[in-house]
């Protein structure tokens, strides 16, 4: 009799683990641009915004390009490692399966992508935020088929969401004369257009189950090396920085209102402007000796736009705030992530109470570029984003 009872308890426990195992782990779903891309654009064969060549990835894992627009890790990588969240694979990773999604989440970020569909069209192929949300809807259908509708809804509602776009909407849209938006809108009008669009997108994500979501604001994008070299003085472009500040102010207000109006929503706005600005303005304070030019460039030939095998690397990559004309270095991302964790009080997840660096992950060697995602994924990318 005791054996029968013990057997019944064990079977019930095992069944409980099997049924509830999928909601035990908190994962991330990341929507973003090149600051968060971990390989999606490298698999868009027509995209002009790729990190597929050396020296991208030189300080990450095996040192090969892995799709990150950096010499090492992204800010999202570092924050996830320190708070116990797994690194989500790229949506277009050919090895992506339903089990991987349940264990790690998904990263939909795409270099050149923006809040607006028209942003970044010069790059030919990229995923706009609307497209990334569409791909997320396809992911949801896969998970529903795998574990059932009720368990899937529970899984997605317990997940964490990061939305980190906006800089391309200015740098690769509004501020370029080849785009209509710069002629059509005033500064205030364009930011209102962005806020209306972003509010609609976040409302869709809430309808798809997003409850804990953080929208990251913009840094001083007028101080990236590309903007400096395009100015007459070599200094930061004040107008561009003011646009970033206005975007952050409007975004913070919009997120607060939206979070209060949507049921069970905990939407936060992560304004990191002051953190990044301090790193750029006071580089020595953080151990850097250069915050105005890229580590990977063609020397005096500027702007270099991208990092390629023929590029010249700086002597000490850990001393440069910027890796290329657009993107921070691994060392800068480490500082930024550390300050963000401190500023916003990110808590450990999945049993991680004290934040600690995650283990290094070997970067995969680049595979062939493709026009569509792997066969198991429901939604194929389209050229317009």
User: Tokens 């952050």 map to which residue?
Assistant: 248
User: Tokens 């509010």 map to which residue?
Assistant: 199
Task: Tell me phi and psi for residue 164, to 5 degrees.
Answer: -135, 80
Instruction: Residue count of the chain, please give it.
Output: 385
- For residue 81, give the H/E element and its range: helix 75-82
Residue 324 catalytic? yes
Query: Rounded to the nearest 5 degrees, what angle is found at the Cα of 354, between the Cα atoms of 353 and 356?
Result: 125
The token pair at 347 is 């808590």
The rounded distance, in Å, linking the Cα atoms of 303 and 315 is 19
The rounded distance, in Å, linking the Cα atoms of 116 and 156 is 25
- Least Cα distance to 263 among 201, 197, 206, 213 occurs for 206
The token pair at 34 is 């090149």
Among the options 59, 181, 324, 330, which is catalytic? 324
Residue 327 catalytic? yes
The answer to whether residues 107 and 91 touch, using CB atoms and an 8 Å cutoff, is yes
The rounded distance, in Å, linking the Cα atoms of 88 and 363 is 13
- Counting Cβ atoms within 10 Å, is residue 113 exposed (0-12), middle (13-18) or buried (19+)? buried
The answer to whether residues 381 and 44 touch, using CB atoms and an 8 Å cutoff, is yes
Among the options 33, 34, 37, 169, which is catalytic? 34
Among the options 327, 329, 330, 331, which is catalytic? 327
The rounded distance, in Å, linking the Cα atoms of 32 and 43 is 16
Strands (E) in the chain, as ranges, are 28-32, 105-107, 160-164, 212-216, 266-270, 290-294, 296-297, 312-313, 320-322
Radius of gyration of the chain (CA): 21
The rounded distance, in Å, linking the Cα atoms of 321 and 295 is 8
Q: Which residues are catalytic?
A: 34, 324, 327
């Amino acid at each position: 009799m005791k054996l029968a009872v013990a057997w019944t308890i064990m079977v019930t426990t095992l069944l409980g683990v099997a049924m509830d195992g999928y909601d035990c782990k908190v994962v991330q779903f990341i929507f973003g641009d090149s600051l968060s891309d971990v390989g999606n654009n490298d698999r868009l064969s027509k995209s002009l915004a790729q990190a597929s060549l050396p020296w991208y990835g030189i300080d990450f894992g095996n040192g090969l390009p892995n799709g990150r627009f950096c010499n090492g890790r992204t800010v999202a990588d570092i924050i996830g490692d320190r708070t116990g969240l797994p690194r989500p694979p790229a949506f277009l990773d050919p090895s992506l399966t339903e089990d991987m999604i349940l264990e790690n989440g998904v990263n939909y970020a795409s270099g050149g992508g923006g809040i607006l569909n028209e942003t970044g069209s010069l790059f030919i192929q990229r995923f706009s935020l609307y497209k990334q949300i569409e791909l997320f809807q396809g992911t949801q259908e896969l998970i529903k088929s795998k574990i059932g509708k009720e368990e899937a809804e529970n899984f997605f509602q317990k997940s964490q969401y990061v939305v980190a776009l906006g800089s391309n909407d200015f740098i690769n849209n509004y501020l370029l004369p080849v785009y209509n938006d710069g002629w059509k809108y005033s500064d205030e009008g364009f930011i209102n257009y962005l806020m209306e669009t972003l509010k609609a997108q976040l409302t869709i994500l809430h309808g798809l189950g997003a409850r804990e979501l953080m929208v990251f604001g913009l840094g001083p994008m007028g101080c990236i090396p590309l903007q400096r070299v395009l100015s007459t003085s070599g200094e930061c472009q004040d107008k561009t920085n003011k646009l970033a500040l206005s975007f952050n102010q409007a975004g913070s207000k919009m997120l607060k209102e939206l979070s209060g109006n949507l049921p069970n929503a905990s939407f936060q706005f992560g304004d990191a402007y002051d953190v990044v600005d301090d790193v750029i303005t006071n580089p020595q304070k953080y151990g850097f000796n250069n915050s105005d030019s890229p580590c990977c460039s063609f020397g005096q030939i500027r702007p270099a736009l991208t990092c390629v095998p023929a590029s010249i690397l700086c002597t000490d990559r850990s001393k440069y705030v910027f890796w290329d004309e657009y993107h921070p270095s691994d060392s800068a991302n480490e500082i930024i992530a550390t300050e963000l964790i401190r500023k916003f009080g990110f808590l450990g997840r999945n049993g991680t109470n004290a934040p600690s660096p995650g283990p290094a992950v070997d970067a995969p060697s680049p595979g062939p570029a493709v026009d569509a995602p792997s066969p198991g994924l429901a939604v194929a990318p389209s050229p317009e984003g």
